[in-house]
Amino acid sequence: MDLDASKRSWGPGVWRKLTQEIHKNQFPARAKAQQMCGRNRTRSDTALAYAQGGNVGLGGMGAGVASTVHFISGYLSEALLEKKPFVFYGRFNYASNSVCRSAGKLADFECYLQPFSACSSLKTRLSADWKPPKISQNRGCVLPATPHKWCSEVAHFLRVPNGELGRRGTFWFRSALVSFLMRLNAGTKSWLGLPALKKRIGFKGPIIGVHVRHGDACETTDRKVLGHAFGRHAVLFPVVGGGRCKGLEAYIPAIQTLSERYNTTRVYLATDDEAIIA
């Protein structure tokens, strides 16, 4: 692949345009926000906003951080394509702690993040009526707004915009959505000390992130057996060297593809297995 051509194709200009479109959709002008967010309207009149409270995981409160964030970003994708501000009034398991409680954000997806919608009043009203889905399976929740749709049925989240903002594909489009959602608030930034940490480890973009998770994914969950059930769908995973766990070599082809496509040789590897970096 021609890296110069790749760099031009995936340059920052269109990325900035997409992030601006996301921000404009989520934070419309004041008069439009009052209309779209349903302020001063009845509780049920939310058609102008894309309000969702369903989540993956046990009790409809989220699963792992990555799967939860990508699921929520699917909502944001649909809202953007429908040109409606997205409001998430559901629950987030990683915010069920004393820190978030003291901040008035108990189980709130935005506990660690900047608000991502102008519809704060609508979110508060809908959140007060939130109830967990009536289902026993760990990863088989049903979306409250669409009772016959399972959270694992996410093919509609793969849509991309028409024209310039869609021709770069789902991965590029979804990356911008996740980036918008994951804007840390001041308290989280201070707690993590990210600037100093990034400087210490030489973390700077563009960079490829690789997560090699072993631990419970290898030995202590049903992931290690063939035929792991996901919701009501049976998914078969090959058992190679301990369930779905694989060495770093299994990730190299994907790293090479991203390296060529995004014109970078920097890789950040996060793992819970020392053998991966030995």
Strand partners, 149: none
Q: In the chain, pLDDT over 90 holds for what percent of residues?
A: 42
> Do 257 and 176 fall within a single domain?
no
Question: Taking residues 116-124, what's their average pLDDT?
Answer: 92
Contact 54, 60 (CB under 8 A): yes
> Do 186 and 200 fall within a single domain?
no
Contact 62, 56 (CB under 8 A): yes
Q: For the segment 238-247, what is each residue's pLDDT rounded down to a tens digit?
A: 444 445 678 8
> Do 211 and 277 fall within a single domain?
yes
> Do 13 and 105 fall within a single domain?
yes
Structural domain boundaries enclosing 204: 193-278
Q: For the segment 132-154, what is each residue's pLDDT rounded down to a tens digit?
A: 876 554 444 555 555 555 666 77
> Do 60 and 113 fall within a single domain?
yes
Predicted confidence (pLDDT) at residue 234 exceeds the cutoff of 80: no
> Do 118 and 202 fall within a single domain?
no
Residues 188 and 52: their CA atoms lie apart, in Å, by 25
Contact 113, 40 (CB under 8 A): no
Question: Taking residues 23-42, what's their average pLDDT?
Answer: 78
> Do 237 and 105 fall within a single domain?
no
Phi then psi for 22, rounded to 5 degrees? -60, -50
Domain end, chosen from 141, 160, 192, is at 192
> Do 203 and 113 fall within a single domain?
no
> Do 119 and 52 fall within a single domain?
yes
User: Residue 34's CB: how many other CB atoms inside 10 A?
Assistant: 16
> Do 99 and 216 fall within a single domain?
no
> Do 180 and 149 fall within a single domain?
yes
Tally of structural domains, the chain: 2
| Strand 229-230 with 208-212, pairing | unpaired
Question: Taking residues 49-60, what's their average pLDDT?
Answer: 85
Domain end, chosen from 168, 192, 216, is at 192
> Do 144 and 278 fall within a single domain?
no
Any idea what the Cα angle at residue 70 is, between residues 64 and 73, rounded to 5°? Answer: 140
DSSP, residue by residue, the chain: --HHHHHHHT-HHHHHHHHHHHHHHHS--HHHHHHHTTTTS-TT--TTSEEE---SSGGGS-SSHHHHHHHHHHHHHHHHHHT--EEE-S--GGG-SHHHHHTT-TT-TTSSB----S-HHHHHHHHHT----S---TT--B-TTSTT-BTT--GGGG---SGGGTTT-HHHHHHHHHHHHT-B-HHHHHHHTHHHHHHHHT--SS-EEEEE--GGGTTTSGGGSSS-EETTEE------SSTT---GGGTHHHHHHHHHHHT---EEEEES-HHHH-
Domain end, chosen from 192, 213, 234, is at 192
